[in-house]
Amino acid sequence: MSARADDSPAAVEAMVRVRGARKTFNVGSPEEVRPMQGIDLDIPAGQFVIVLGGNGSGKSTLLNGLAGTFRLDEGTIEIDGHDVTRWPEHRRASLVGRVFQNPFSGTAPMMTIAENFALAARRGRPRGLGWALNAPFRDELRDRVRGLRMGLEDRIDTAIGALSGGQRQALTLLMATWIEPRLLLLDEHTAALDPKSADQVIALTDEIVSSRRLTTLMVTHAMQQAVNLGDRILMMHRGNVLHDVSGPAKRRLRVDDLLARFEDVRRRELLDEGAAALLERSYV
């Protein structure tokens, strides 16, 4: 917990605090993009946040910025009371668990399921010369993997690269939460899966996140998921948070409402930049 005197009670409870975050990629080149244009964000501990937005609106950039894949140009990030603005990615891993969009990204394909979990079990902790695997760990692993009901508990010594995308995403989710993360980042982690596997992984996500009350940001393009899951919806547009809906308003939200908001964004796209900025100021 932050001990700073000027913290308001609400802010002290925030697991994540982003202030004035800005990022420009490819500065000065014709491909210059500004996927973070002064983002302020407070996420209370235990909140499950759904992040929506069109392609290139800055959803992944927000998550990557929290995870530390790049440094902010401006602004600060606090996670669980630590100012992590200058922490490199591997250091932030002590606080952050991640699942990527690509099932290949979250696991080491040539290594066994058990070895992958041994790595996850030391997330953000020092790695020494003790055996990575031992009998008690294997037993615990089998138990937890059995909970997935994918029959993988008997295959913990096969290379994880031999599994299907859905199986790998489910395992990656289990790995990311093996040690409880202060913040869980899920970036379209079901987008590359077939519908059945996607449903399975979403159900698992809901189960893990709600039962352990993990502070979570989940990016998705599936409106139905956004409506069914989570406590809060952020809608991103051009590097800004355009809508922020939580509480009863979030629970009342239906797919049609979301689609209407997207349509609204699309119409604004047709306006010129100046008018859009004006509208945005009065809108947000």
Ligand X SMILES: Nc1ncnc2c1ncn2[C@@H]1O[C@H](COP(=O)(O)OP(=O)(O)OP(=O)(O)O)[C@@H](O)[C@H]1O
In the complex, which residues of this chain contact another protein (CB under 8 A)?
67, 88-91, 93-94, 96, 98, 100, 102, 104-111, 115-116, 118-120, 122-125, 127-133, 161, 175
By Cβ distance, which residue is nearest to Mg ion?
60
CB of residue 270 to another protein, shortest distance in Å: 36
Work out the burial of residue 7: count CB atoms within 10 Å of its CB; fewer than 13 is exposed, 13-18 middle, 19 or more buried: middle
Which of the choices Mg ion, ligand X, another protein, none does residue 149 contact, using the CB cut-off of 5 to 8 A by kind? none
How large is the greatest C-alpha to C-alpha distance in the chain, in angstroms? 64
CB of residue 129 to another protein, shortest distance in Å: 5
C-beta of residue 79 within 8 angstroms of C-beta of residue 16: yes
CB of residue 139 to ligand X, shortest distance in Å: 39
Figure out which of the listed residues 60, 85, 190, 215 binds Mg ion, where binding follows CB under 5 A. 60
C-beta of residue 206 within 8 angstroms of C-beta of residue 84: no
Strand order in the sheet with 33-44: 33-44, 14-25, 74-79, 82-83
- Determine, following the binding rule CB under 6 A, whether residue 25 of this chain makes contact with ligand X: yes
Figure out which of the listed residues 17, 41, 53, 113 binds ligand X, where binding follows CB under 6 A. 53
From the centroid of its chain, how far is CA 75?
A: 20
Which of the choices ligand X, Mg ion, another protein, none does residue 104 contact, using the CB cut-off of 5 to 8 A by kind? another protein
Work out the burial of residue 187: count CB atoms within 10 Å of its CB; fewer than 13 is exposed, 13-18 middle, 19 or more buried: buried
Q: Which stretch binds Mg ion (CB under 5 A): 30-38, 53-61, 174-182, 203-211?
A: 53-61
Q: Which stretch binds Mg ion (CB under 5 A): 31-39, 43-51, 60-68, 161-169?
A: 60-68
**Which of 92/123 has CB closer to ligand X?**
92
**Which of 103/114 has CB closer to ligand X?**
103
C-beta of residue 8 within 8 angstroms of C-beta of residue 33: no
Name the pairing type of β-strands 232-237 and 48-53. Answer: parallel
Figure out which of the listed residues 11, 33, 45, 222 binds ligand X, where binding follows CB under 6 A. 33
C-beta of residue 183 within 8 angstroms of C-beta of residue 79: yes
8-44: burial string, b at 16+ Cβ within 10 Å, e else: eeeeeebbbbbbebbbeeeeeeeeebbbbbebebebb
* Token pair recorded at residue 230: 């989570």
Residues contacting ligand X: total by CB under 6 A: 12
Q: Which stretch binds ligand X (CB under 6 A): 48-56, 125-133, 263-271, 273-281?
A: 48-56
**Which of 143/269 has CB closer to ligand X?**
269
* Residues contributing to the site for ligand X (CB under 6 A): 25-26, 33, 35, 53, 55-61
Question: Residue numbers of the site for Mg ion (CB under 5 A)?
Answer: 60
